[in-house]
Structure 1
């Protein structure tokens, strides 16, 4: 079967820069899946994306689907022929429907008798016939929140479409995509080469655009080019280091087809403004990269990336300097104005700002947080007064001019203003740390006061909203409670804080006088612990491990985490599968006997008849003495590794001993022995749930 390269390009108006990379990846994956579903063999999938185009090239695409053998079952042999051996109407009708003669059918012998069957080969469709439908489907499935129409057309896409290329080898694929007839012609840079460029073969695509159209079509290549250029310009022209944020780099890459890095400057007086405010002004609004010296101190310059090679680069630089100057001047004005009023004097201004209609104002929330943060600080050995003070000031920067203009600076400006006001450094740092962690992979608070404040803020929202019966539902989570729950878990685990969620949520509930749910604590604890599941799945921990620990419902996250790690290590042991199976067997026996750790009969050594029973009791007793102290101090890993030594003894017991003896005394004694075995493991997790987990 022969093969050719395939190229599709969708030419558009400027695509949304923050979505370009995702759209490109989804487009390529959609076409790959379409070919795979159709059974068309192919080679490497290459992606191209720029502000005005999405393109995919797939190497060595087979020219047709493979031929597929098929089998169609007809009537039973006994119903296919009459007494004289002539075809019946049933057989004739079946053959006629296939366009064949009855003697072309084969006989299939089954356990239910003999049947006539037709065996044939279905010829695969040519790939060029399949490609338009595959591309259409891939475009329809792109993650576009809101599609648009343009002109009087009925087609919808993320932006108006101006041209389409569809090539299989050197030939056009005849089709119409998004209202445009596919052809060979692409377009170059909007200003450098606005005319058409002919793509002869898929292999020529990026070379033609780069050499003649002033377009670097590869997103990855353009990204590398921009990053290298930004660093080079900062180093050569400012003797500094450009700070390149990956997210900003992706966005700038999506804004440019022919990137040219340029260095601009601003007045040194603006360096008196906190650098975070300057960075926010430059990155968020202007897409500039800031520059620092060897000590990490900001320099009065920036790197912008122009989407063209200007005949007068200085004019482009001057234009960007003129644009950024008023934004930096605004930041300087806000900073000077905000410092005239201490944060403590802003607390009363929080009263009119509603946090949630039933739960009250932001001021009400900070008062609850202050009481809770002080209690948490005391529990972790920190200064309650520092945590209380930080909580009272925690939301005051939200009403400053700077944060109202740059909302990503909340907490950050609180730290600067607190220092200016003469607040203690611990208070100032806590104001900044209260929002940590803000996203997956973000740092957690480093100070105790910061931890207390961050926990108090999240717990107040969780307990409050659950307490008025407004938990998250489906994809609706307006107060970001899922993120809040994950933040609580990460702080407690990563800072090694041995705090119990039931205690924390109970302390939080005590601060409210408006909750309508009788028990807001239990659902919040369960909700927070359930957030562990996705975290461990991302780390490759089997779901069975999580369920085994969850079954014991340890409500101290740090303890929960230690159990998870220990059980995950246990699963990898060669003895784990047998012990999990044995625990499941014991669990089933105890359920039938309606037994548990409290009601199961005690073991009477005089009733032990077999060596396997006596050996198991001896092993259990020895393990109890060894592992119970380990479990009490949270060393679950060492304890479970020790319990793994029970495997051979347990196996021998089940091989040699009939647990459900007709003698009630013997039966109860053996059930009691098994209960002691299971109780040892239950001090960590219900390992009977590990049966389906893979053992290494």
Structure 2
């Protein structure tokens, strides 16, 4: 068995490209080798900013051999009546480079066919890899690709070298101007190279030793964490590890060296969030916390080399951070001199979205909408949430948010607390942009949840009213995130809201400000969009698609009720008799639907027109059952309501067996349909049973 290594050397790639590149290389190589019939051991992929590596152990140097039966034309076409070969048979043999005598008859389920046995495989894996490697390299999808010089090859950055070895043999191929070989490169400072790799097994030792490079992202991450923790403990602190930043930093280095540095304690007057943003966003560094959780005047950064003069490098990093902290301190002090009235007045000069007025107009809408939502969901918070709605965008015109835009909302909450606003208002302001996606944290407070819900709803309505609807993968205004945020908030907090009514209210708020939008058309598109996001949300949680479609088919406006109906359906689907009950009820639904639906039939039936025993029995059952179903619906007990489906099924089956529903007598026919429509209308509130595939 052999060892294979492929190293793709390039100019530095952005760290965000590396995880996707590793995943693509692993998937594409595994698929290509499987298709080629190459046996191999573990496939390992690693990357640094300057290289991507595929390392495969225990690779069979010879492709698997197999014999395959290849069918040709039918025997009646391949041979004449006296058994002589036809031109069709001769052509089939010639296609496969065989003689006519190598062709035989093969019996199949469809009859006799001309066939040959082809021996396949047995090719040197070295030859196969010479085709697989350039194909995979050329097909790696990057967020951005570039060309350089006069070459047609497109890659994330210009290629500089390629190592491709199967044991000691070079796999020969070229990608653009770069030919494969055995020469690798090391760290730009500590081991530039080139270094000749005698065989694949020696590659990692040479790169890590002579090249001074840590090619494995896990190794680099461990070096950073262990070194950082050791240095922080020495001063009595702990590193405030940010996982996203840690992934980015390890992806920026080939030779990671964590280094502790300091800043002036005077800057600690600035809020913790601002200091951490300065360190993390601008300097790719981590804060240090004391045992009580407060920030210490130190930060941890990660170098990509071992410096000759640590103090000199440390001083340089401190000087750069000092400039950022000085700016933050200036804006912080300037903002503290202002008040919310000043900022709210400035919001009237900030455009919200196209022709939808100013950010000041938006906060006035949010003030009204927040109060309305709170009165429905949390009446004790009506004043608090309304105040939060009015102040929600004030921090957009502050100096600090102008400098650090990712602190919007956070600074609003900090300023609100500093300037004497209720703490619940401050908390709501800090949580107004949560959740930022399907997996990000939700607001922790009801006030924050209601403000976030109002903000996202207002944005959705404005964009849909202006026909700025997501198309394909394009979603420049983040409307999918808005919709999933609304869904997660409503479901998690259990808010009993009718989203169609909420959207309608927002449309009226726009109209009151002189921004008239097409109400009916906008509402329909909004509800369709919300239904699509809700479907993705439920199926993403592992719910069965037919059950999801059935629950959504009964209405999506009340999100919490839709989730409850889906949960009840899921339980009901696992009970004995589920399939039979659904089949029976689908028959009810189909008969009523063919007659124009329940709306085209009377609301009640006439007992005087009941003739058959089975229809009298069904009517008696319905007189008891329908009021119970109405009560269960009012109580939201969908599970108990679905259980009634099993209860009424015998009477419905007997009705179908003993009564001609579509009889010639129009009065009897309508009366019988009215009974079915009354039953169908109750269960249609729970699910669209036509969507269930039984």
* TM-score for both structures, normalised by structure 1: 0.90
Which residue matches 1:526?
528
Q: CA separation of 1:498/1:91 partners in 2, compared to 1, >3 Å: closer, same or farther? A: closer
Contact 1:580 1:689 in 2 (8 A): no
Which residue matches 2:549?
547
Contact 2:381 2:447 in 1 (8 A): yes
**Offset at 1:551?**
1.1
Q: Which secondary structure state, in structure 2, belongs to the residue aligned with residue 391 of structure 1?
A: helix
Q: CA separation of 1:514/1:679 partners in 2, compared to 1, >3 Å: closer, same or farther? A: closer
Which residue matches 2:509?
511
Q: CA separation of 1:522/1:77 partners in 2, compared to 1, >3 Å: closer, same or farther? A: closer
Contact 1:265 1:302 in 2 (8 A): yes
Picking from 217, 223, 226, the partner of 2:224 is 226
Distance in 2 (CA, whole Å) between partners of 1:111 and 1:410 is 70
Q: CA separation of 1:448/1:110 partners in 2, compared to 1, >3 Å: closer, same or farther? A: closer
Contact 1:603 1:669 in 2 (8 A): yes
Contact 2:47 2:53 in 1 (8 A): yes
Q: Which secondary structure state, in structure 2, belongs to the residue aligned with residue 534 of structure 1?
A: helix
Picking from 263, 267, 272, the partner of 2:269 is 272
Picking from 417, 420, 427, the partner of 1:419 is 417
Unaligned runs of 5+ in 2: none
Which residue matches 1:249?
246
**Offset at 1:453?**
2.5
**Offset at 1:340?**
1.0
**Offset at 1:10?**
0.4
Which residue matches 1:602?
605
Per-residue CA shift, 1:399-450, capped at 9, x if unaligned? Answer: 1111111111001111122222222323322221221222232333333433
**Offset at 1:272?**
0.9
Which residue matches 1:74?
73
Q: Which secondary structure state, in structure 2, belongs to the residue aligned with residue 515 of structure 1?
A: coil
Contact 1:575 1:644 in 2 (8 A): no
Q: Which secondary structure state, in structure 1, belongs to the residue aligned with residue 509 of structure 2?
A: coil
Q: Report which stretch shifted further, 501-510 or 617-626.
A: 617-626
- Is 1:349 aligned to residue 346 of structure 2? yes
Q: CA separation of 1:567/1:119 partners in 2, compared to 1, >3 Å: closer, same or farther? A: same
Per-residue CA shift, 1:438-475, capped at 9, x if unaligned? Answer: 22323333334333332222222221222233322233
Q: CA separation of 1:126/1:660 partners in 2, compared to 1, >3 Å: closer, same or farther? A: farther
Which residue matches 2:363?
366
Q: Which secondary structure state, in structure 2, belongs to the residue aligned with residue 354 of structure 1?
A: coil
1:48-67 to structure 2, matched below 5 A, reads 48-62=46-60, 63-67=62-66
Picking from 551, 566, 589, the partner of 2:568 is 566
Contact 1:427 1:449 in 2 (8 A): yes
Contact 1:148 1:158 in 2 (8 A): yes
Which residue matches 2:137?
139
Contact 1:11 1:163 in 2 (8 A): yes
Contact 1:188 1:213 in 2 (8 A): yes
Contact 1:8 1:55 in 2 (8 A): yes
Picking from 22, 31, 34, the partner of 1:33 is 31
**Offset at 1:548?**
0.6
Q: Report which stretch shifted further, 199-208 or 489-498.
A: 199-208
Q: CA separation of 1:674/1:49 partners in 2, compared to 1, >3 Å: closer, same or farther? A: same
1:312-331 to structure 2, matched below 5 A, reads 312-331=309-328
Distance in 1 (CA, whole Å) between partners of 2:528 and 2:84 is 73
Distance in 2 (CA, whole Å) between partners of 1:30 and 1:79 is 41
Q: Report which stretch shifted further, 108-117 or 558-567.
A: 108-117
**Offset at 1:580?**
2.7
Q: CA separation of 1:330/1:615 partners in 2, compared to 1, >3 Å: closer, same or farther? A: same
Picking from 625, 631, 634, the partner of 2:633 is 631
Distance in 2 (CA, whole Å) between partners of 1:42 and 1:618 is 71
* TM-score for both structures, normalised by structure 2: 0.90
Q: CA separation of 1:619/1:130 partners in 2, compared to 1, >3 Å: closer, same or farther? A: farther
Distance in 2 (CA, whole Å) between partners of 1:214 and 1:79 is 67
Unaligned runs of 5+ in 1: none
Which residue matches 2:579?
577
- Is 1:191 aligned to residue 189 of structure 2? yes
Which residue matches 2:558?
556
Q: Report which stretch shifted further, 621-630 or 380-389.
A: 621-630
Per-residue CA shift, 1:363-398, capped at 9, x if unaligned? Answer: 222222222223223333144443333223222211
Which residue matches 1:476?
474
1:116-131 to structure 2, matched below 5 A, reads 116-123=114-121, 125-131=123-129
Contact 1:10 1:161 in 2 (8 A): yes
**Offset at 1:632?**
1.5
1:679-690 to structure 2, matched below 5 A, reads 679-690=681-692
- Is 1:375 aligned to residue 372 of structure 2? yes
Distance in 2 (CA, whole Å) between partners of 1:40 and 1:602 is 73
Contact 1:597 1:676 in 2 (8 A): no
- Is 1:446 aligned to residue 461 of structure 2? no
Contact 2:618 2:652 in 1 (8 A): no
Which residue matches 1:388?
386
Q: Which secondary structure state, in structure 2, belongs to the residue aligned with residue 465 of structure 1?
A: helix
Distance in 2 (CA, whole Å) between partners of 1:286 and 1:277 is 13
**Offset at 1:98?**
4.5
Contact 2:618 2:655 in 1 (8 A): no
Distance in 2 (CA, whole Å) between partners of 1:183 and 1:650 is 80
Q: CA separation of 1:61/1:657 partners in 2, compared to 1, >3 Å: closer, same or farther? A: farther
Q: CA separation of 1:660/1:267 partners in 2, compared to 1, >3 Å: closer, same or farther? A: same
Q: CA separation of 1:66/1:109 partners in 2, compared to 1, >3 Å: closer, same or farther? A: closer
Contact 2:592 2:673 in 1 (8 A): yes
Q: Which secondary structure state, in structure 1, belongs to the residue aligned with residue 293 of structure 2?
A: coil
Picking from 280, 284, 293, the partner of 2:281 is 284
Q: CA separation of 1:634/1:211 partners in 2, compared to 1, >3 Å: closer, same or farther? A: same
Distance in 2 (CA, whole Å) between partners of 1:661 and 1:476 is 51
Which residue matches 2:332?
335
Q: CA separation of 1:639/1:297 partners in 2, compared to 1, >3 Å: closer, same or farther? A: farther
Distance in 1 (CA, whole Å) between partners of 2:297 and 2:150 is 50
Which residue matches 2:259?
262
Q: What is the RMSD computed on CA atoms of the aligned residues? A: 3.0
